[in-house]
Chains A and B, each alone.
Chain A
Amino acid sequence: MEIRVTSDLFDPSAELSGFAKGRMDTGAVVTFTGVVRDTAGDLKTMRIEHYPGMTEKAIAKIAGEAQTRWSLTDCLVIHRYGDLAPGEAIMMVATAAGHRAEAFEAAEFLMDYLKSRAPFWKKEITETGAEWVAAKDDDEDALSRW
């Protein structure tokens, strides 16, 4: 299991090529990459603030639960903070398991929990101003299925 909270750019394909290497009991690998989206065409920067210390602990707790619940053979979570440009990768999760159902479910569980239980806050900086991204009720509701 690897957790990385970083301000640096990362290359999802390079991360994937090294993931779950040497684990012959892995039959399925699922990855998800979140990308900075510019819906209105005026986004300059996505600024991500986080709570150093708590962030790493919260992600470790979520990833540890996923690993146990779906018997993952490996698990990777990368999440960036700082100033990101549209099109850049914000975060990535990768899960490895014996079979695909476990790998898919664990990845979805990780995404649902990272959205509303990992202490990150996004602020969109546009040509005309800056606004904090509001949490959605849907994101909180998504946790109830687990």
Chain B
Amino acid sequence: MAANIAERVHYPLDSSSYKIIDEIGAGNSAVVYKALCIPINSTPVAIKSIDLDRSRPDLDDVRREAKTLSLLSHPNILKAHCSFTVGRRLWVVMPFMAGGSLQSIITHSFQNGLTEACIAIVLKDTLNALSYLHGQGHLHRDIKAGNILVDSNGSVKLADFGVSASIYESNNSSGGGSVACSASSSSSNSTSSFMFTDFAGTPYWMAPEVIHSHNGYSFKADIWSFGITALELAHGRPPLSHLPPSKSMMLNITKRFRFSDFDKYSKGHGGSNKFSKAFKDMVASCLNQDPTKRPSSEKLLKHPFFKNCKSSDFLVKNVLLGLPSVEKRYNESKVVDPNSKGSDDDDEDPGMQGNVKQRRISGWNFNEDGLKLEPVFPKDHCRDDVVKQVRFEEEKVIKEHDVVASGTVMEPKPNTSSDVVDHDESLVVEKVGSNIGGRVVNNREAMLGTLNVLKGSLEQELGQVKFLMNLIGGEEIHVADSEEQMVQEISKLRTELEVERKKNLQLELQLENIKLHLSSAVNSPKS
């Protein structure tokens, strides 16, 4: 009854009805506030204020996020009370979750991770949310502790649908919103009805097939991120986050000498025996390299690890008790280290702001005994041979990249099978040769050039893409075992070509129009 009435409450649609108390999170183009809704008994709310002028040119993503939030209804999903514009900002009014995000909780009080009993409660509720979402045809695409919130009564809710996507809408433009999300850029449209190919999420948590997203990915990508989140809750941080979140991070970890750091880290945190067999097994199933072998959220809920799961009261007593308020934690984190992970309801590492990240991971191997995720680098691995470079802030990339390129990364290394490519599009896929025959892609200069030219004129682009296709076709002779990848590569390039052709046609039409005017100008005498 009470819940029914609460649902009917209409939150006011003007900013003057809300009194902002404190900032509790911030990201690239959004700030999250704690506020009171004055007309409704000064109910506390969280307001996510998104700068619309800074978001992508078309507002479709923002619309989709707002719609998703309005139409989802599940006890473990943080929904929006309402949303409205205030000048150039969009205000999304949501219930205030007094405990804040799990990420903020572990950063503040549980730096070595939560106990398994607590993890089970959090993860079970998260799975309930995921199961609902997937049943609705939605992918969350950004599952991580920073997006799992707790209320003062211990109830757990999954938040932030800034990059979520729906299989029912995937035919509209390219998915992948970037409203207030840390990392998102999209390239091609989805290839099949239930698959996505655009790149969205936050790198640490990202499934291998999302990183190699041109092959397509689906619901199981969320399951991977869910597994990483389990590790995050258990260890107090996601795997590999001991490496500095700087622009060179992923470039660095692909280098061999960095491996020692990782070993040190692994040894330093060696207490893996504290985890139960059930937990390790559950995480391992989520972190299977093969998406089809990962369990569905529905199936995962039946895993022994979630049996005898304690109630939310347990969470209140063991995690929330004595914890400073969300706003206090947020402000403290800002004072201690402006670059530390202080973000809360919002999902961004402040360290990410203004930084370009270039990350390359060819794969992850989960070490079940140690409950650790270990990186696989292109060099050491034969199967994962497509590497992607992502960039996060468009304008700065070229400059920053030049610095990187002239530095250590581009050193000619005979066996380095991958390379960094700069490109006008926000996402670049690069073909990397297989190591089986010890072969190196010796055409990489040409490839680099080709991909660079893509940002040139459209006519040139058409020619160059054809050239690139030939190039890849030619490579097949040398690198037989990656034929499949190449076929996929080619089909992806074909799609891109098609898109470019369409753009070209449009531009030609425009040009013709202008020409028409020009020619009539020539004919008419000028005064």
Q: Do A and B come from one complex?
A: no
